[in-house]
Amino acid sequence: MLNTNASFSRKHEILVPGDKSISHRSVLFSSLAQGKSEISGFLEGEDPKNTMKCFSALGVSFVSEGSGKYSVRSPGKQGLKSPLSELDFGNAGTGIRLSAGLLAGLPQMRATLTGDESLRKRPMARIMDPLTAMGAEIESLTGDGRAPLRIHGKQLANYSYKSPIASAQIKSALVLAALSSDISIDYEESELSRDHTENMIRFLGGSINQINPLRFVLTPPYKFEGTSFRVPGDLSSASFYIVLGLCAKGEPTIIKGVGLNPSRVGIITVLQRMGGKIEISNPRSECGEAIGDLVVYPSKLHKIEIEEALIPSIIDEIPILTIAGLYSDDGFSIRHAKELRAKESDRISAMVINLKRIGVSVTEFEDGYEFKEISSIHSGLIDTFMDHRIAMSFSILSKLADIDLKIDDVSWVDTSFPGFFEILKEF
């Protein structure tokens, strides 16, 4: 395994930005809810801010009241109006997919949804097909199942769906469509995916009949009123500093106020099984979500077999988990993660290409990759493929190994973690 060159002579206490997934949903649900809402802890990153701009174009008022705080006034779902121009979601895959579901169920809506070059490469058929089966009129203007998407809102029909993959974005898009059209939905998935949308519905007073851990039925009426949304710290953002704290030497790292949704804590589970010492203190609940403070101690890590059932809960953290694998006895292996190929980049290909560039002998599979224990790496050019998590993962490696990795473009980091490099400089 690699030996770290990073050593902390003092204990670090840090705050990470608000959870990106919940920030997106705070915009969507405060727009569905009629009246005044307040949002605090909102991630001031490009992705959720683009979603907010898009809903502003639909007639919702968002007024900033300081860092991460907004006052929201919405006419409610029936008062949302068609935009005068395209809705540009930038790089926000969550924003465009969830919003497509919400808008597809509003009969008064006519909208075209688009984004930047990276977003327009991502597959949208995974939400378009089941939405169409619900009665939605949604069209890929490129003809290949990618954005821009043209939506002609419809009154949808009650729907039952068994998803072939575990995806919170698919699930949330269909649920939001059901909320918009006041219909019922019976949803089942193959593995448990993130349940932020279900938690938000419960928080707002909605009733969900949980048939079993993988299946639920949601039935109307859905009459949500304005309320106060508090967004916890993003565990996906915290994961970069969890790995830094585990793999460096010296004093522990404390990360305050992090969301600990059970469907998201797979990264903690995996790192603890690898030998990482991570403690949770001050557990509490806000806005329907579990949160707590993380205390991360320098630890000796080792390779484990990561079972398929854990993959949905760590899918976004696999790039930084791979960096932890470089500091593990016996190397690292990830399989059953084909979903990685449909993220902001093909993250399997991106990680393999970049690992090879710094001297790691890595084997690529259709659903993952693996490498044996290594003792050294060298500097190289890192291609982020316009992907913020690739940029942040190799920035953490550069800090740990004290190597000047030449990362081609770190501007993508602001889409999800503004202030990332300022925090990194403190270590």
Catalytic residues: 316
* 414, amino acid identity: D
- b/e burial code for range 226-255 (CB count within 10 A of at least 16 → b): bbebbbbbbbbbbbbbbbbbbbbebebbbb
Question: Where do we find the tokens 């993250």?
Answer: 347
* 312, amino acid identity: P
- Angle made by CA atoms 218, 220, 225, in degrees to the nearest 5: 105
In terms of DSSP bridges, do strands 159-162 and 185-188 run parallel, antiparallel, or are they unpaired? parallel
Strand order in the sheet with 61-64: 61-64, 70-74, 35-40, 228-230
221 upstream amide cis, omega within 30 of 0? yes
Q: Which residues pair with 365 in a beta bridge?
A: 368
Q: Which of 345, 406, 401 is nearest to 375 (CA)?
A: 401
Q: Which of 280, 380, 375 is nearest to 326 (CA)?
A: 375
| Number of neighbours of residue 376 by Cβ within 10 angstroms | 11
CB 167 within 8 A of CB 190: no
In terms of DSSP bridges, do strands 215-218 and 208-212 run parallel, antiparallel, or are they unpaired? antiparallel
> Whole-angstrom distance between the N-terminal and C-terminal Cα of the chain?
22
SS (H, E, C) 144-201: CCCCCEEEECCCCCCEEEECCCCCHHHHHHHHHHHHHHCCCEEEECCCCCCCHHHHHH
Q: How far apart are CA 176 and CA 134, in angstroms?
A: 12
Tokens of 70: 């907004």
